[in-house]
Structure 1
Amino acid sequence: MKKLYTLLSLVFFTNSVFAQNTTFEDFWWKRNNLRVIQMNLPSYEAATINADSIVADLITYSANTLLINAGGIMAFYPTKLDFHYINPFMKENVLGDVIKKCHQNNIKVIVRFDFSRVHESIYKAHPDWCYISPKGERIINTDMYVVSINAPYVQEKAFKIVEEVIDMFPIDGIFLNMPGYQVNNPYEAKYHGIDQNDFDKKAFAKYSNGKVLPTEENKADSLYQKYLEFKKHTVEDWSERLHKLVKSKNEQIAICTYSDKFVDIIRHESQSMTTLPYWPYTASDNVGNAVNSFPDHIISNASIQQISFQSRYNAVEPQEVQIRLYENIANGSGLDLSMMGDMRGYEDERNYGVIKKVYAFHKKHEPYFGKYKSLAKIAIVAPGAWPSGEPMQEYRGIQLMLREAHIPFDIIEDGQIGNLREKVKSYQLIILPEITYLKPEAIQVLKDASKVGTNLIATNRTLFDSPETLQQLFGAKMEKKDNDGAGNYLVPDNRNIFKSFPGQKMLFWKFNLGLYDLSGADQTLLPVLSKGRPGPPEIIGGHEPTGYHALGIKNHEKSKALIFPVSLGRIYYMHGYQEHKNLLLDAIRYVLPEAGKDIQTNAPQRVEVILKEFVKNNVSNKEKVMADGLILHLVNLTGFSGNSYFEPLPVYNLSFKIKSAKKPAKIFSLSSGQPIKFSYANTLINLQISKLEGFDGIVMEY
């Protein structure tokens, strides 16, 4: 990761950074104006692809970057390396022709490598290069075998493949697909276990002073914790060596993958979900997490066309793609779309109209995208870059509450808190949705932030493995971490805080309801009632106080720390009852009364509202940090029904009050190009929008 410049540190101090202004080198990707189309080529399409048609399609769809296969699993070029399996359908000059003709039309080319697998012929010659499970199994997809990261293919041969491609072709970037340790067969949804390859055993023994490679993933096992350190070390070592190789050849070659160390472009993916409820904010979630967690990187979030690995030839619905692409723009990413094969003769072309429209929109209004600074006073901590399971549900539910209330917030990955000390301290409120583990340095950052005035709200099992932190920050002591709350009720007792419950005395519960001793807190609220008597109407009742509470508030010298030891986010994510959302919103208003005043609007909850400060993204002012104005992104999600996507309904007569220290010189709509009348008084911009269709960007120039 590149060293942050002094200017970046200064901008951090003011809350958030113009994320793409971190260095002043003239690297092509630093413009953050990517419009990527990835053509993920099946082997057989190498026989039919044509450089002229590919470039013509890229131009038609306003793309400025092509991502296309080069090597790894198979070579899409005439390799001279005997350990690099050649695609039998390959046309000898096609990759070179594609790159040449793209460059003639000012289109950058990033080539794709996948070093996770080798062809059966390579496996038979070098079985010691490949993965082997604790049961002695290989991971196989037809005739492709998963490799071991510590074996010679990845540690040595992969570098020779990359070097050969760089020497043969004037590429602009490399993309690494499926980097790191492979213990799953994602194409068959099967877990196989920790790799027991001899090279892995020897490498781990060397790293750990002779310890034996573990065979089970057990977070409570110190040996497994050592193995996690080993994995991180080996991946970063490999990435650093690749970085040195690539940059020694040409500093203008961008390195792109899903991690952050020794990488120029962090790629993320908006994928189709296989379980309900669907998550229409996937791009906002991905980009928001990455741009705030890794502010010295460019982020490219790919909209994955395919429905699943088993259904690659069916695309997701056009309106889902449209939401993803507009959310990319609104949160500070460029555009990125991944499809199977090239665009000719595609099996599902329903999204082509949306892709063409949004990519052209980005190209037309490029100066207003990509150089943003957040104005959010609140940050939500994310449980990693790829959340899953109950922590994901808790995290998404908390996000959903704030998005529907139009309260601006940033997202910071839990593992990055310790690296963003000043940024974290600049927020007025940090929300921890079931963040079960934090590194000691991250915990210290939160404690320091609390001392200088940052309020904290934690939910469910947050910090359960750090009892001293729970006690110090929240005055909480866990008695029973896991407790089924189905049948219990909460009482919104303090109506000075809980103002959203007229006519309601009891709030139902389900999922986890932790039993905590909150005697160390200064206030205990939301008394928990017992489950009572289940059965027919004649016998129900008996809900009595248990002595436990679902909210504790601890007063610190300059801040407050609130803990909800319940699955507050999950219950809203899964069921959507307003009473559970109002618990959090009332708590936020209590600790941060101004939270809802930065954006005041009558916009429906299904209109996503994203406010950013912007600097015009022109080459001439690449080093400028003084804002040119505000931009209000409006993404219309009214077509999302919960389990499908339809055309959004037009929304009429929207009014906004936007807090701004400066009066704009003019306000206009990017969608219509028309000026918007406004007034300005008491640091508030007042404006009305007569009609919102799928998306708009409201520019308020100073």
Structure 2
Amino acid sequence: MTALDEASAAIPADVPAAIPADTSAGDPDLWWYAPFRMYQTNLREIDADLDVDAVLDHIVAFGANAWLLNVGGIISNYPTRLSFQTPNPVLAQRPSGDLVGDAVSAAHARGVRVMARMDFSKVARPIAEAHPDWLYLDPAGQRQELNGLTSVCPSGAYYQEHLVHVLEEVLDHAPVDGFFFNWMGYGEVDYAKRYRGVCQCLGCRRGFTAAHPGQSLPTGPESPAYPTWRRWSVAVIDGLLARARRTIATRRPEAPLVMGHTADIVFHEANNAVGRSMWHHQTSESVSAAKSYRPHVPVLVNSVAFYDMPYRLVAEEPHVLAQYHLQAIARGANPSTYVMSFPGRLDYASLPAASRIVRFHRDHAEVYDHLVPAARTALIRPDPLAVPEDDSDRGEEFRGLYEALLERHVPFDVVPAERLCELAGQLKRYRLLVLGDLGALPPASADVLEGFTAAGGRMLLTGSTGFVLDDPQLPSAGIGRRAAVLTGPEATWSSVVVPEEGSPVPILGSFHTLETAEVTAHRVLSRAPYGPPEKCYGHLELDTPAAVRSERVTTLAMTPGRAYRASGLSGLRDLVADEALRLLAADVEIVTDLPEQVEVVVGASRAGRVLHLRNLSGATRQSFHAPLPVRGSFLSYAGWPAGQRVRALVAGVELVAEADADGRGRVQLPELDLFEVLVEAT
């Protein structure tokens, strides 16, 4: 069995009803299963006079082989005959009167695919006035209007009936190679970034009431039925995508749909925003979650070359754009670069840094051919639609655990909590699951986790994971009951945990008092008076464990991820990582002296085992700048036997692994700048 076969054992046996089973993985007749690189020119109305040959020159030199082009929806860049579409008036300046036809003909002559960007979220004012039942209505009965456009609602007839008519017209007009739908969802937030509320149109009121009798359509997050509405709205969009996918497949089966997690190609956009704190690993997290769920389904990461949507003339920091692309390819996604207008009319200083990564992907296509996750550890990401029992931020615990594992060089895949049941038979390839402060689990998910440990798997739990009220859901954790929960500064102020090795660390977030007959670890010291130093003493050692260690499960009774995010104290990171490494034991994958700022990503492709080393030393609070070079480091990997030849693709050298003390293959690394890719030589 090859490394790719081993990693591919995680392919789900079934997938959501909105899509057919993934029987086409690896089909050479479907172009998007081979690695590809996209370039998006997000055109303004005035850009329809572009020179398609000049744009294609730039796209090919950049390293891309697919072009995402505005085709229809808000503006039609071809001569539409539909009364509810708005033709671009600038098309009159083209000899053909047809930008889409010109682009497809020229691109196909050069071996470049053309993907159709469709945006059904808004219509011109005359169409809105003719079809008021199509429109979004906020709780005050007002429409969303901007620059002569009016937002429509996915529950209305424009989406539900006429979307497929537009697709049919496009497919009849030109042999486009696929479709991408922009802003496909219920628009609670408008372009001015104002929250407008849940749509109250007739279609929404009828649809939600029919699906959930007795519940009132919510107006916003404060409404009791809002969580139910969120799941209902996702289901409506999934249904629309399924119908669109069937329409496309009927007319042009070789053309994929790029959209959410149930499309032919999973889409993620990597972008920045004014006022939004940067999560430096957002792209890596999103791609890993998608590839862990459906490993052979392609993922496309559209990385934005400008700073923020209102500042579309301002180039993104070059190293930020490079990191977007690097995170994408390291986790097995296809890179896409997103610019406004077209090269020559608007140019961005960030593009050369991105092109370096895109061309590397092009030049090493065999390495990225069916690149799938292959780590031995999985970090379970909280369900974004789950409602916490308290006001805790489950995302912060996840992110703190993410950083702790990354910085201690424990490679991991991200697995969505809501997919655990679908992946029940595929979790066996993992040795360790890490579940951070997830609260009560769906009973079926708890059963899956118990099956995982019964088959020999191990788990690291933190905080509230696996409790319904105070009753444990996971017998394998060996916890009798939860006696109390201390939450927030009032309850935990000045309380500390003293690890078996290391200095005391603060309890921040919450602490759970657990009763157990299993082995316990780490000491807990109570609160003490806080005030003048003369009175700051009196910590008492409590008879409650900071950690419970059963045969295959360790439970940390605190929220160390949130605490690490809040404090940055390395003792909290090490508390998590040390427990993970202890549970992995002989299954530890990586031993290295690389700095903590270097991430190790483990994958497998048709080329064999693939390790990406990503230098994050240039990370700042809200950006990435140039990284510091790393010299003289070694890396041992459990997947390499002694004598294994390893290619370092960026440095362009071949290394030979020697056996370390534990039998792993060890190599001396070349100088590491932004990144390195290590691949088994054949």
1:337-377 C-alpha deviation (Å, 9 max, x unpaired)? 11212122325x21121122222222111111132344322
**Which residue does the alignment assign to 2:303?**
303
Which position in structure 1 is the counterpart of 2:319? Answer: 319
CA shift digits 1:122-160 (9 cap, x unpaired): 211111111112222222333222211111111111111
Tell me what 2:15 maps to.
none
Structure 1 residue aligned with 2:526, among 525, 530, 542?
A: 530
Q: CA deviation at 1:167?
A: 0.7
* 8 Å contact kept, 1:270–1:286: no
Map of 1:490 onto structure 2: 496
For the aligned residue pairs, the C-alpha RMSD in angstroms reads 3.0
The match for 1:440 is 443
From 485, 492, 513, the counterpart of 2:510 = 513
Within 2, Cα distance between the matches of 1:563 and 1:357?
A: 44
The separation in 2 between residues aligned to 1:481 and 1:130, in whole angstroms, is: 47
Distance (whole Å) between structure 2 residues aligned to residue 279 and residue 232 of structure 1: 24
Query: Which is further off, 560-569 or 120-129?
Result: 560-569
1:192 aligns with 2:188: no
Following superposition, the deviation at residue 405 of structure 1 comes to: 1.0
1:620-659 to 2 correspondences below 5 Å = 629-659=608-638
Which residue number corresponds to residue 391 of structure 1? Answer: 394
Q: CA deviation at 1:291?
A: 0.5
1:228-247 alignment to 2 at 5 Å? 228-247=230-249
Aligned-pair CA distance for 1:241: 1.3
Aligned 1:39-78 pairs, distance under 5 A: 39-46=41-48, 48-78=49-79
**Cα distance per residue 1:470-501 (max 9 Å; x no partner):** 464542426336333663232325x2xxx3x0
Task: Give the residue type in structure 2 aligned to 1:390.
Answer: D
Give the Cα–Cα distance (whole angstroms) in 2 for the partners of residues 678 and 9 of structure 1. 20
**Offset from partner CA, 1:75-97 (integer Å, 9 cap, x none):** 22221111112233345222211
Question: 2:145 maps to what in 1?
Answer: 140
CA contact (8 A) 2:7 2:372 kept: no
Task: Report the TM-score when normalising by structure 2.
Answer: 0.90
- For 2:370, the aligned partner's letter is K
Structure 1: gaps of 5 or more residues:
1-6, 617-628
Please, which of 592, 596, 602 is the counterpart of residue 605 of structure 1?
596
- Shift of residue 683 of structure 1? 4.2
Matches of 2:222 and 2:8, distance apart in 1: 39
- How many angstroms apart in 2 are the aligned matches of 1:386 and 1:271? 22
The one-letter code matched in structure 2 to 1:529 is L
Q: Is the 8 A contact 2:4 2:372 kept in 1?
A: no
Question: What is the CA distance between 1:26 and its match in structure 2?
Answer: 3.2
Q: 1:82 — aligned with what?
A: 83
User: 1: CA distance between counterparts of 2:484 and 2:150?
Assistant: 48
Distance 1:336 1:384, change over 3 A: farther
SS of 1:367's equivalent? coil
* CA contact 1:381–1:412 (8 Å) conserved in 2: yes
Q: Which residue, 405, 416, 440 being the options, matches 1:413?
A: 416
Measured at CA, do residues 464 and 37 of structure 1 come closer, stay the same or move farther in structure 2, by a change above 3 Å?
A: farther
CA 1:13–1:640 in structure 2 vs 1: closer, same or farther (change >3 Å)?
closer
Q: Which moved more, 1:395-404 or 1:535-544?
A: 535-544
The alignment partner of 2:655 has SS state of: coil
- Amino acid in the other structure paired with 1:440: P
d(CA) in 2 for partners of 1:584 and 1:447? 22
**CA apart distance, 1:630:** 2.4
Identical aligned residues as a percent: 24
Structure 1 Cα separation of the partners of residues 197 and 419 of structure 2? 27
8 A contact 1:132–1:138 mirrored in 2: yes
> What is the match of residue 17 of structure 2?
none
3-state SS, counterpart of residue 675 of structure 1: strand
- Determine the C-alpha separation between the residues in 1 that align with 2:113 and 2:300: 14
Match of 2:340 in 1: 340
Which residues of structure 2 form unaligned runs of 5+?
Answer: 13-20
Check conservation: 1:373, 1:613, Cα contact below 8 A.
yes
Instruction: Name 2:177's counterpart in structure 1.
Output: 172
- Which of 569, 583, 587 is residue 591 of structure 1 equivalent to? 583
Q: 1:298 to 1:20 in 2, by over 3 A?
A: farther
Moved more, 338-347 or 223-232: 223-232
Amino acid at match of 2:76: A
1:207 aligned partner, one-letter code? A
**SS in structure 2 at match of 1:581:** helix
SS across alignment from 1:571: helix
1:646 match: secondary structure: coil
Q: CA deviation at 1:675?
A: 2.3
Asked if the contact 1:148/1:181 (under 8 Å) is kept, the reply is yes
Higher mean C-alpha deviation, range 597-606 or range 675-684: 675-684
Distance 1:376 1:98 in 2: 42
Cα offset, 1:9, TM superposition: 13
| Corresponding residue number in structure 1 for 2:565 | 573
Change (3 A) 1:77 1:465: farther
Equivalent runs, 1:354-393 vs 2, <5 Å:
354-384=353-383, 390-393=393-396
Supply the distance in 1 between the matched residues of 2:192 and 2:270 (Cα, whole angstroms).
Answer: 20
Aligned length: 661
Which stretch of the first structure deviates more once superposed, 670-679 or 202-211?
202-211
Q: Note the C-alpha offset of 1:165.
A: 0.7
1:12 Cα offset (Å) = 6.6
1:621 corresponds in structure 2 to: none
Amino acid corresponding to residue 632 of structure 2 in structure 1 = N
Q: Shift of the alpha carbon at 1:642?
A: 3.1
